[in-house]
Chains A and B, each alone.
Chain A
Amino acid sequence: MNFSSTLIEEAVMAFTALPGIGKKTALRLVLHLIDQPGQTSEQFSEAIVKMRRNIKHCSICHNVSDAEICAICTSPKRNSQIVCIVETIRDVMAIEATGQFNGVYHVLGGVISPIEGVGPDDLNIESLEKRVHDKKVKEVIMAISPTIEGDTTIFYISKKIKDSGVNISTIARGISFGGELEYADELTLGRSIATRLPYQDTDK
């Protein structure tokens, strides 16, 4: 594509760096911004810069957060004795959207997959162990995708925390998540959290 303007070209390039945006879409977005008052672009870029500069990860649950500790962890309405373990921040959002869960979260940051260079140390497992041992956690719910790597991760974590006497459950895995939790529809996901099953350790 020939843009006849370096300014436009640079803006298009910036948009195409985002996932799912090709050159055509990027150009459409840029042309749209040109049609709008300058203020729109300024607000747009300011929001992004501000977000990126100030966004943090909660020091307790590793969810995204505006402050040192996230809104879920600080909320007095949430039951901090029940911790739901998820792979990513998007899983937190999916479960929150169901409105069915009143506990708190722990974001692992992925699943154990040595093939892809992800070992237990690369995930937030140590902080989970501490959390379960130090705080008065009564129940841990594993909301991890039903894959081989997910199974490994559940198995591994349950070994690490079961000495603390915490109850470990998994969300109903018979239901199809379409591979990933974030794609589960809200109703199914909500139901599967409500009907979670105690985790059966295979080699007791």
Chain B
Amino acid sequence: MLELKLVNFKNYEDLRVSFSPQLNCFVGMNGMGKTNLLEAIYYLCMTKSNFGTNDRQMVRQGADFFRIEGNFAEQDKVVAKVIPGKQKKFERNDVAYDRLLEHIGEIPVVMIVPDDTQLVSEGSEERRRFIDNTLSQLETGYLKMLMTYNKVLKQRNAALKGMGKSGYYDDQLIQAYNGQLLAPADFIYQARKKFIAEFLPVFQRFYRVISNDAEQVAGVYVSKLENDSLENLLRENEQKDRILQRTTAGIHRDDLKFIIGGNPLRKFGSQGQLKSFVLALKLAQFEFLKQQKEKKPLLLLDDIFDKLDRYRVAQLIGLLLDQDFGQIFITDTHENRLEKIVEQYATNYRKFTVENGKII
């Protein structure tokens, strides 16, 4: 990415900034808008926020739209024009996409944030999101199937709720939804299973490098579809679904169980291990996307010192630049801490001091 232009995005009224092709550091105090820059880049690649923030909250206070423009090469421009509630348009070289999902994966991206530890500490939804995020960037077909599945599921759940209220169970309608879920569920299951098998060795390699840890780590894909077809599962759970008024079996309940030294990570991992684990997951996601797409994703590292101490940050940056991770964007709260480390490794880096929605 050569250049980023923001209008009314979060606390940026009007910003234009050019980047180094290798390493870019945004430094400044908390609340000044460092992370917003990473978020803008992420948004431009994924058509939504990494944090689940809705579009309305991304508009600068007092404005009614925002615009993000990124120049990725001399002749490659992506523009997002968003008027929350009214319009959301993405253009590539002045041609608007018919559907936003066509853009996802065009410019692969991996964002690493302190919140990532939720991948390990929270429920299965976060881990499905991680898998889906990776696969969506690899294959538009996956995202389409996932969206279809989720929409049918939502309708099915709404129907179950309505039937619970009225007391009339319309079996034929449920059958209609079951029929619509089968093909997407199977597609998603197969894709996730294949992904995890291929991803695991990449992840294990990164964990070894980052943790200096001899512990064996693994991830196990857990899905009810492993042993039974969704058709059977839906039939078996019919009574349960009726009572609970929601769909209790399906790929929306899949999980990825993390293991360390033969034990569940969630229970047995130390705080340090969790952080290394999550970081390795994200870097492996980067490597995996790079291999599959034959294109280096943008790497966005938010508040990296949250995860690692000084020594480890140095080690990580060494690793990133050594292995040629492409273009990297890092934020830090300390003016000089990052620069001192970066100076040792990077041949081409730029530092930006961020203050109140401006780069000074």
Q: Which residues of A contact B (CB under 8 A)?
A: 112-115, 117, 119-120, 148-149, 151-152, 155-156, 159-160, 202-203
Which residues of A lie under 8 Å from residue B155 when comparing CB positions? Answer: 112-115, 148-149, 152
A112 touches B158 (CB 8 A): no
Beta-carbon contact of B172 and A159 below 8 Å? yes
Provided the pairs A119-B162, A148-B148 are in contact, do residues A155 and B154 lie with their beta carbons within 8 angstroms? no
Shortest C-beta distance, A129 to chain B (Å), equals 11
Contact of B151 with A by CB under 8 A: yes
Which secondary structure characterizes the binding site on chain A? helix
Indicate with 1 or 0, residue by residue over B170-212, a CB within 8 angstroms of chain A CB atoms: 1011011111101000000000000000000000000000000
In this assembly, does B83 line the interface, its C-beta being within 8 Å of a C-beta of chain A? no
A-B contacts, 25 listed (Cβ < 8 Å) = A112-B155, A112-B173, A114-B158, A114-B159, A114-B161, A117-B162, A119-B162, A120-B173, A148-B148, A148-B152, A149-B155, A152-B152, A152-B177, A155-B175, A155-B176, A155-B179, A155-B180, A156-B172, A156-B176, A159-B172, A159-B176, A160-B172, A202-B179, A203-B178, A203-B231
How many residue-residue contacts, CB under 8 A, span A and B?
49
Closest to B149 in A: A148
- Cβ A159 vs Cβ B175 within 8 A: yes
Please list the residues of chain B having a beta carbon within 8 angstroms of any beta carbon in chain A: 148, 151-152, 154-155, 158-159, 161-162, 170, 172-173, 175-180, 182, 231
B contact residues around A148 at 8 Å (CB) = 148, 151-152, 155, 180
Task: Provide the bound-state CA to CA distance between A160 and B175, in Å.
Answer: 12
What residues of chain B lie closer than 8 Å to A120, measured between beta carbons? 170, 173
Given contacts A114-B162, A152-B152, A203-B178, 15 further A-B contacts (CB under 8 A): A112-B173, A112-B176, A114-B155, A114-B158, A117-B162, A119-B170, A119-B173, A152-B155, A152-B173, A155-B179, A155-B180, A156-B173, A156-B176, A159-B175, A159-B176
Tell me which residues across on chain B come within 8 A of A115, comparing CB atoms.
Answer: 154-155, 158
In the bound assembly, the distance between CA atoms of A124 and B177 in angstroms comes to: 20
